[in-house]
Amino acid sequence: MTEYSVISDVSEFHAACAALAAGEGPVAVDVERASGFRYSQRAYLVQVFRRDAGVFLFDPPALGDFAPLQAAIGDVEWVFHAASQDLPSLRELHLEPPSIFDTELAARLLGHDRVGLAAVVESTLGITLKKEHSAADWSTRPLPAAWLEYAALDVLHLIDVREELQRQLDDQGKTTFADEEFAATLTRRPKPPREDPWRRLSGLHQVRGARNLAVAKSLWSAREAYAQEQDVSPGRLVPDRSLIAAVLANPQSKQALAGIKDFQGRASRTQLDRWWQAIVDGRATEELPRERVPSDALPPPRAWADRNPEADARLKAARPVVEAVAEELSMPTENLLTPDYLRRISWDLPGTTTDAVAAALEKLGARPWQIEQTAQKIAAAFVEAAQSPDGASAPAS
């Protein structure tokens, strides 16, 4: 078994970058974070492999400046498995690929039954990988040898996988599909922060009244600030269910708060003053949150028949048409066309011509290959739905 080590010394880092610069072909890149353990989504390990260079494991907290690595590999294709998960952490290090190949996305477009890294490596190369450390706390130092081997194997075979998947894409005539998807992944930027992120508290639907919502918001904000200060995942300090339990119990003193059985978590008692002050602040604030928040989310399709029967008929006509195209192309329907896009143009009809449907899909974010494969058939389905007297009779799912 090859023994791998983490590069945390600057001189070793520069030597590794020189070796990678002298290597051949694309580079395989992966990132390990400490999701569920740390507040941030920063990279705690960056793995890079290139032929004629080897595998290198870099320690971002220790190294800091990754400009030498960007200079070494910044002019070649980077190969990922599920690139959208890794790109934000890499960009925090100012690491930016000029182009990418995503083996997970390619496997989806090719209709592979399983698209996890281990499954794709096995189906393409016949090599079995163990994925036993995927949920580990990668901020741990020193990292155990078994974890390092796992991290190295995440990139060691990616170039070979990429070549086999490229061959399959060529054989199925899907190279253009993949190229457009990879480009969209690379240029896609994160969604803007939610206006009220505290409303994502699990169990918040149980809380009634603006004042109680203010207490929930105050508790969430106090936990968020402490989690960021400690760089610990908020749920590891006090779980969502415990914050909601505190709101619902309506304690009248700090001691009563401490006595709530369901108020748990490793910081529930050590930071009791913090949580009690948050409750006091929430009860005193004059800035009460709205009980209902406007949303641009569409109603669930099961409600369409009553609320918008024409849209219901359009969706029922178009959905099986899109599913049939996906089956013909041997790929999941959601990779052919984002389901929400079809729901939106069914609900708010852009027109029944191919050009109108295509323009609406493009505005929503569909790629050219997706529009080419679906727009004409969706438009025809919309026309059929308008002409059918029975179009809105069947239940939507």
Kindly list the averaged pLDDT for each block of 10 residues, start to end, along the chain of length 397.
90 98 98 93 96 98 97 98 96 98 98 96 93 84 95 97 98 98 93 88 97 98 97 96 98 97 96 98 96 87 96 97 98 97 97 97 97 98 88 44
Q: What are phi and psi of 393, to 5 degrees?
A: -85, -25
Name the helix (H) or strand (E) containing 49: strand 45-51
Buried-exposed string 42-59: b where 16+ CB fall within 10 A, e elsewhere: bbbbbbbbbeebbbbbbb
Cβ atoms of 120 and 112 closer than 8 Å:
yes
Cβ atoms < 10 Å from Cβ of 257? 19
Q: What are phi and psi of 58, to 5 degrees?
A: -110, 145
In sequence order, what are the residues at sequence separation of 6 or more whose Cβ sits closer than 8 angstroms to the Cβ of residue 83?
Answer: 100, 102, 104, 105, 182, 185, 186
> In this structure, is the dihedral angle defined by the CA atoms of residues 12, 15, 17 and 20, taken in order, positive or negative?
negative
The CA distance from 141 to 160, in Å, is 31
Pair of tokens at residue 341: 């896009």
Cβ atoms < 10 Å from Cβ of 2? 10
Residues facing residue 24 across a β-bridge: 51
Residue 394's pLDDT is 44
Residue 397's pLDDT is 42
Residue 393's pLDDT is 43
Buried-exposed string 340-359: b where 16+ CB fall within 10 A, e elsewhere: ebbbbbbbebbebeeebbbb
Residue 192's pLDDT is 81
Q: What are phi and psi of 120, to 5 degrees?
A: -70, -40
How far, rounded to the nearest angstrom, does the alpha carbon of residue 289 sit from its chain's CA centroid?
28
For 394, what's the count of Cα atoms within 13 Å in the CB-facing half-sphere? 11
Cβ atoms of 177 and 83 closer than 8 Å:
no
List the strands of the sheet with 24-32, edge to edge.
6-7, 54-58, 45-51, 24-32, 78-80, 100-102
Cβ atoms of 124 and 165 closer than 8 Å:
yes
The CA distance from 184 to 186, in Å, is 5
